[in-house]
Structure 1
């Protein structure tokens, strides 16, 4: 911004100095930006409802989790989703002795699905986990 210094003839300067006005405007703008509340976005999630009835598909000796080529998860031969699988795993930990958990993914199952199921098993703190069906990969390496 160029500022005029006036003339040497002794007349008053006729232009208004806008520099202090711009400084005040910038300070007010920064104050408004700081005082604006942070906007939070809520995501609605449908959580499963806890049922008091016990799950009857849990074997006290051994249970088998399978994943087929289409990515469907099975628990002892019956199809389940991730929420029901987590409930079954939690129920196995409530038994007096933790049953064995056999994990058998299909060779054509997507790695992403297998990884998600293994993460669910890990979050459930299962300690007796065994991978079965590894002989299908014997000739691949």
Structure 2
């Protein structure tokens, strides 16, 4: 690569800019970005479930919790139809789980089916209320916690 400084007899400054190095750097950066961007954007392939209403099989041993927030911003948790506080919730949950395990033959019984917790949360309930109830039930030993919801209006579900 040669660089022209212009005629030697002319002492005027040269106003032309050599853009070749700038274009070379930009092309290199473009190639680098074209190679690295797909590597950075890669995600783990996950098939997300389709939102479809599935009827819940209600068993007598399952625990039904209803949770809502009141006007004061406090959480109201109902075990069935009975309003409970945090301590009562964990006490009842531990007793319920222990009773179900004993009824089925103990913790090492074959085919042990632990009860589930079904949570019905009001749409305007703060997440801390629902999250707190979930945490309490998991702390008591319940491993399966599910949410009960209403399907969108007009959806029809056929049983297989």
Q: TM-score, normalised by structure 2?
A: 0.43
Q: TM-score, normalised by structure 1?
A: 0.49
Query: Relative contact order: is structure 1 or structure 2 higher (C-alpha 8 Å, sep ≥ 6)?
Result: 2
